[in-house]
């Protein structure tokens, strides 16, 4: 049943904030058909009385859509009613191109919270971070707006501007003016990265960044691995930090690319029999090379499926910080008139049977994003050069200027290598891949040595020798 459905994990849907207070669920008391009919009559009566007595002219369509949204919102934070425009926009986002700011948001107890900005979009370039709160859009408060209403206020014609008031953790509110753009999502980026202080200059690590899980993610990933394998990388860093999710099928295919077998994920619906399990097919595209998956609190849903699948199968080491904790699956149910219902239809579980709903994926090695502080000056005040009559270096080409500044004193734009050096989590992940690669090489070398020193050959010789000794013994006995 579930197999036939187009499953979506999350794109831009209401998501409960990680760490929100858990509400104890009361047992459901079902109504009889007669009671349901009476309640529906009451709903119709409320609509008529409100429409006829409200102080201003009532918008019937707006009232009815709000009623349907409220009905679905009472189920869970992810279920909602999609108007014709909302459904159309949702479909456009699902196919990897849409207009806006490039920001994934969620509803957090009446506030609008940022799950993550999408790479290379106006929101990301403006410095908006995962966990930020948006309090105003063009000066208007957003508290108690529905998520769809907040999204609509941020959307607009490409090239037009919108002002957001943003609050970051522990900071004062700040106004950011962004220019709307057509957001074209290329979900996979990759490159080979040099290893600092490597014994072999040719050794490189394959770095793959997945910003979301869209319709083309699996193909883009396969192309990335194929290209990096030609570079003979020693291992991989799979970066899904601040990735809010996407297609469930894409998460399964991404996991499959690194696995040679085993379960990837199971989805479990309302009925006990509604269980679907997805398994990896034979063939690890990375050839068993070390893999480190980088996650953080902005890694949600499909990202957590990939991290959980590789972690539970022992295929990858997960590093970073605790992930978001969204373990449910949503689907769009068209209503036949261009509108639809976006509703939660199943929970998903990792191969070991873990549900990460409200919990998240716990990294094998916790590495919080940190800032490296230089504790030593580049040049000591006391060195050979500090002596008054020390000999000069006659071949030195060292320039007496700050490496970070140009000749006119302006700050230079950081190179990719310098940006990588400031990414503490990435540096630790690359270190881990190097360590895992060396351990694997040492283990392989030890296995070869053990094979060369195997007692099998000696045992044959010893067996012959033993036979000779017995024969000699017999000859000796005869002589006696």
Q: Is 161 a catalytic residue?
A: no
Q: Is 437 a catalytic residue?
A: no
Q: Is 211 a catalytic residue?
A: no
Residue from 116, 187, 326, 328 carrying the catalytic annotation: 326
Distance CA 146, CA 56 (A): 22
Angle at 359 between CA 356 and CA 363, to 5 degrees: 85
- Residues recorded for the chain: 480
Distance CA 264, CA 351 (A): 6
Residue from 255, 278, 312, 328 carrying the catalytic annotation: 312
Distance CA 102, CA 115 (A): 11
Which long-range contacts does 223-232 make (Cβ < 8 Å, 24+ apart)?
223/188, 224/188, 224/190, 225/257, 225/285, 225/286, 226/285, 227/190, 228/190, 228/192, 229/285, 229/286, 229/287, 231/192, 231/204, 231/206, 232/202, 232/204
The answer to whether the CB of 116 falls within 8 A of the CB of 244 is yes
Closest to 325 in 3D by CA, of 292, 342, 345, 347: 347
Residues 6+ apart with CB under 8 A from 326: 9, 10, 15, 16, 245, 300, 301, 304, 356, 357
Residue from 80, 116, 278, 301 carrying the catalytic annotation: 301
The answer to whether the CB of 274 falls within 8 A of the CB of 329 is no
Specify whether the backbone of 340 is left (phi greater than 0), alpha (psi in -120 to 50) or beta. beta
Distance CA 71, CA 79 (A): 9
Could you give the residue numbers annotated as active site? 301, 312, 326
């Amino acid at each position: 049943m579930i197999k036939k459905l187009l499953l979506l994990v999350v794109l831009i849907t209401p998501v409960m904030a990680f760490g929100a207070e858990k509400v104890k669920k009361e047992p459901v008391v079902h109504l009889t058909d007669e009671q349901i009919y009476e309640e529906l009559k009451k709903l119709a009566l409320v609509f008529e009385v409100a429409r006829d007595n409200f102080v201003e002219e009532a918008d019937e369509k707006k009232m009815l859509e709000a009623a349907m949204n409220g009905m679905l919102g009472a189920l869970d934070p992810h279920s909602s009613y999609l108007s014709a425009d909302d459904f159309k926009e949702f479909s456009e986002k699902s196919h990897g191109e849409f207009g806006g700011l490039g920001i994934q948001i969620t509803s957090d107890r009446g506030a609008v919270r940022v799950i993550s900005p999408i790479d290379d979009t106006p929101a990301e370039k403006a410095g908006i971070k995962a966990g930020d709160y948006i309090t105003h859009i063009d000066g208007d408060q957003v508290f108690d707006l529905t998520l769809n209403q907040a999204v609509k206020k941020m959307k607009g014609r490409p090239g037009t501007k919108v002002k957001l008031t943003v609050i970051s953790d522990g900071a004062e509110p700040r106004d950011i003016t962004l220019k709307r753009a057509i957001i074209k999502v290329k979900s996979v980026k990759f490159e080979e990265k040099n290893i600092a202080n490597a014994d072999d200059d040719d050794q490189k690590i394959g770095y793959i960044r997945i910003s979301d899980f869209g319709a083309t993610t699996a193909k883009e990933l396969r192309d990335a691995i194929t290209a990096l394998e030609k570079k003979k990388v020693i291992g991989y860093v799979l970066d899904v930090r601040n990735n809010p999710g996407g297609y469930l099928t894409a998460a399964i295919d991404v996991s499959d690319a690194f696995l040679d077998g085993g379960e990837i994920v199971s989805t479990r619906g309302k009925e006990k029999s509604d269980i679907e399990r997805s398994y990896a097919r034979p063939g690890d595209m990375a050839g068993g090379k070390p893999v480190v998956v980088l996650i953080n609190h902005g890694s949600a849903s499909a990202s957590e499926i990939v991290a959980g699948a590789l972690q539970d199968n022992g295929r990858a080491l997960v590093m970073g910080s605790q992930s978001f904790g969204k373990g449910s699956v949503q689907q769009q149910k068209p209503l036949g008139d261009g509108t639809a219902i976006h509703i939660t239809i199943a929970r998903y579980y990792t191969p070991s049977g873990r549900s990460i709903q409200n919990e998240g994926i716990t990294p094998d090695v916790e590495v919080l994003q940190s800032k490296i502080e230089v504790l030593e000056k580049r040049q000591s005040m006391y060195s050979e050069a500090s002596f008054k009559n020390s000999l000069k270096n006659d071949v030195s080409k060292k320039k007496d200027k700050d490496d970070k500044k140009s000749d006119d004193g302006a700050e230079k734009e950081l190179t990719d290598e310098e940006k990588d050096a400031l990414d503490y989590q990435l540096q630790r992940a690359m270190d881990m891949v190097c360590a895992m690669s060396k351990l694997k090489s040492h283990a392989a070398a030890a296995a070869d040595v053990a094979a060369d020193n195997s007692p099998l050959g000696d045992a044959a010789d010893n067996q012959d020798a033993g036979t000779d000794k017995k024969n000699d013994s017999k000859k000796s006995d005869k002589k006696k």
